[in-house]
Structure 1
Amino acid sequence: MSAEKRNAGYRAAEEVEDGMVVGLGTGSTVFFAMERLGKRIAEDRLSIAGVPTSYQAAIRARRYGIPLTSLDEYPELDIAIDGADQVDPALCLIKGRGAALLREKCVCDAAQRAVIVVDGTKMVEALNAPVPVEVLPFAVEAVSRRLAALGADPVLREAVKKDGPVVTDNGNFILDCSFGTIADPGRLETAIASIPGTLECGLFSAYTEKITVIVGEEKGCSVVSLH
């Protein structure tokens, strides 16, 4: 599996041109893209700036020598490179396994292009994975009830190496919501967004025209887009 992820990440890094401001997503496949960008900076004198979507992404980018900036400094980005938990044939996504979905959506929205790097297991006929929802801790129970009314089975995400719930980089909680097969991702995304106390959800349905998906394979990549 690491070969597929490496191939996808390295291929995505070749989409970056000198002078670009690049959104840097969170996750193992994106980190291969960062690794390759670091090599291009060191060997080819590539000049770029990165906007990280999480503390983890910022730490990894610094390790690879990628200069960092912020969305405040660059509210419009040339390109974003990110991963996904699932991708359907219309290029709607589920994201958020790394709990960085709010910043990832901000960066995706700001980017002219979004390059999504995945291995083949992430390509599905219909989205059906749990949808992460970032929620204000103050409103977690009220939001859970509203999500259940939409047909979800919301589960508060628990931390692995600490007691209690996962706390996002923004200080919020994550509810993982199983809806079964999602027939209309856009409609569900809108319904979730209307719930007070919800900061963002992991459905990305509004960016299909700007998305290019690079699917890593054992000996190369395939590229999927709607144009």
Structure 2
Amino acid sequence: MSDEALTALLLSLRVALLATAVASVSGVACARLLTRAHFPGKDTLEAVLLLPLVLPPTVVGFGLLLFLGRNGPLAWVFPGQILFTWWSAVIASAVVAFPLMYQNAKAAFESVDINQERAARTLGAGEVRVFFTVSLPLAWPGIMAGLVLAFARALGEFGATLMVAGNIPGKTQTAPMAIYFAVEAGDYGTAVPLVVIVLLFSFAVIFWLNWWSRNRVARHALRRRG
């Protein structure tokens, strides 16, 4: 594997990890708030949050171009030029990974027994303590599934990232972009190893999630029998 391909692979991992962290924190926070909250327009807000899941990646990328540009509404959040840097790749990956994290976290929080949360409040626990000692541990399996799926989605992100970060070798070129442009140039010597590595890595992540979930259920069943 060439140094350029290795750099693209390492950049993909770094982008995916940071994007997963951003999507996880925001996804869990939004899921927690919207699970218990009831207000007019909630369904509309949830539809907006889930849009990146169904929109073409190029549409998501174009929207980010408008929002992150120098004259965009988010320009004050990111001073200086953030487009066509690896940070814009992180933002694009986080945006497309967010719906997967949000959906899994929301389903996990909805499965939490509200009576256990009420019992903790009755014993004097504040909302923060209830969240970290009751809600989060009970919802953790679903949140873990969301983490893994969000990471896998961020690792494979291509369209939106290409729109906002471009394909600059050594700077913004992630593994999916390196694969695409290598195939376009007929450079299968670069494309094939990257494809194999990404495929095996993604398979290992999903396989581990299934193994972890199955073993957790088995351990829980043994504890109930005991």
Tell me the TM-score range normalised by the shorter chain: under 0.3
The structure richer in strand per residue is 1
TM-score computed with the length of structure 2 as normaliser? 0.24
Q: Which has the larger radius of gyration?
A: 2
The structure richer in helix per residue is 2
TM-score computed with the length of structure 1 as normaliser? 0.24
> Higher RCO, 1 or 2 (CA under 8 Å, sep at least 6)?
2
